[in-house]
Amino acid sequence: MRSAVMDEKKAAILQEIPRLRRYARALLRDRDSADDLVQDSLERALVRMDNWRTGESPRRWLFTIMHHLFIDQMRKVSRRGEASILSLDATEALATPATQTESVASREIVDALQQISPDRRAALVMVAIEGFSYAEAATMLGVPAGTLMSRIARGREELRGLLDDQARRRAIRIVEK
Amino acid sequence: MTARSFTDRDIHLALDGELPEDERAAYQMWLEANPDMKAKSLRFAADNAALRNLFAGVLEEPVPSRLVTAVNGDGPRRKQATPWWRMAAAAALLIAGGVGGYLAGMSGIGMGADSDDRMAQLAIAAHQTFAADKNRPVEVDGSDQAYLTGWLSKRTGLTLVAPDLTKNGFTLLGGRLVPANGSTAALMLYADAEGNRISVYVVAEGTERSKGTFTLASGGPEAVYWQDEGYGCAIVGTLPPEQMGVVAKDAYKQLIAGAGLARS
């Protein structure tokens, strides 16, 4: 199928890459792991091009693919106990110039986001950062609207608690000095 | 008019633009009447804004070329047709024949280009740093080769295999990523029964076709390397030259074959 339709589809997919990268970065933090996830998603999308109906925005289709890969990856990580390898990558990423410029506050938010369970993180990021509606997010995540809502509510509560803990710890450190 | 009662769940709905238009005024009044709920709502709104600001910059970043290639290439890279230059490199290797002759005859070829020297130096530096580390020479061990090579392939942009060097007495310890001259290289480490270690350094870099051997002026391990446009590999170790040549050639042939390049 080397046709004009194919080229059009590819062009539409290319346009979505910045959005996909942002979603992946919020899910995984480390830039290279995030881009790996995007690359996996794009490769899978290309082999399944037929599943994408013409005329439909590729955004939701691509986000759905990425979400499945993300959840698979999270399961594998916990099953194989490779969390240490992944967290090592994340630690190393802190040494790169790009992340060095992160302020303490933004690093704390990123850290807190990473500690939220993957399901809640995905729901929160889709709605709060990517701006999808509840209906869209529920479809992409493959859960009922009620489940999505409670994931968002719990995710926000959890995030707030983690940020408060960090702030408290920071205050204690300052006092100790 | 009986306004419905609100709960903190409505704070999320309001924040995410999911609260129906005709309920918004009543919601605002409820917030004003409940300072705790109002504080909560302001806090969630602030966290939300912080999250959004934090990742806004990602949209402005240049898209990495590997992602564009993933879409524009004819399917995944590993299924692409063999680039002519890799076929040529493989063919040249097969023609080179005996390894002794190869090492003797080729060590000077292509030495004019700086990039291959640079690659060999980096490969030697990586070998000296990591092969010498008794306890933690690798980042990911060799027990799950598919995982290891998948990870390294992705990060280097190459289709990598871990060469099987058991018939030369070397088993795979594992691999890690190391810096290259402006990109990232894969380093795979092997050990034999005596504890000798060799490393295989592979990178998607190179300017022109060259091959040779390289040793630092100060002595130390030797690198046997191959390079072409966009591809380079170096096998580094301190074995006797004949054995080094045999192992290096074996590793190189498998790397090329694994990348789907040697079936010419």
Instruction: Domains for chain B: give ranges and CATH numbers.
Output: 8-59 (no CATH), 82-258 (3.30.200.100)
pLDDT of the residue at A78? 58
Domain boundaries, given as residue ranges, for chain A: 1-100, 102-177
Q: How confident is the model at residue A177, as a pLDDT?
A: 57
Nearest to B209 by CA among B112, B124, B125, B126: B112
Provide the terminal-to-terminal Cα distance of chain B, rounded to the nearest Å: 83
B16 and A85 within 8 Å at the Cβ level: the answer is no
pLDDT at B74: 53
Question: Per CATH, is A102-177 categorized as 1.10.645.10?
Answer: no
Q: Is the pLDDT of residue B207 over 90?
A: no
pLDDT at A98: 42
Q: Which residues of B touch A86 (CB under 8 A)?
A: none
Question: What parts of chain A have a pLDDT lower than 50?
Answer: 80-101
Q: How many CA atoms lie within 13 A of B165 on its CB side?
A: 34
Tell me, yes or no, if A154 comes closer than 8 A to chain B by beta carbon.
Answer: no
3-class DSSP state for residue A26?
A: helix
How many residues appear in chain A? 177
The pLDDT assigned to B260 comes to 67
Q: Distance (Å) from the C-alpha of residue A18 to the closest C-alpha of chain B? A: 5
What is the per-residue pLDDT for B139?
87
In this structure, which CATH number among 1.10.390, 1.10.3470, 1.10.1740, 3.40.50 belongs to the domain A1-100? 1.10.1740
Q: What is the pLDDT of residue B83?
A: 38
Please list every residue in chain A whose beta carbon sits closer than 8 Å to the beta carbon of residue B176.
Answer: none
Predicted ipTM of the assembly: 0.83
In angstroms, rounded to a whole number, what is the distance separating the alpha carbons of residues A27 and A33? 10
pLDDT of residue A77: 61
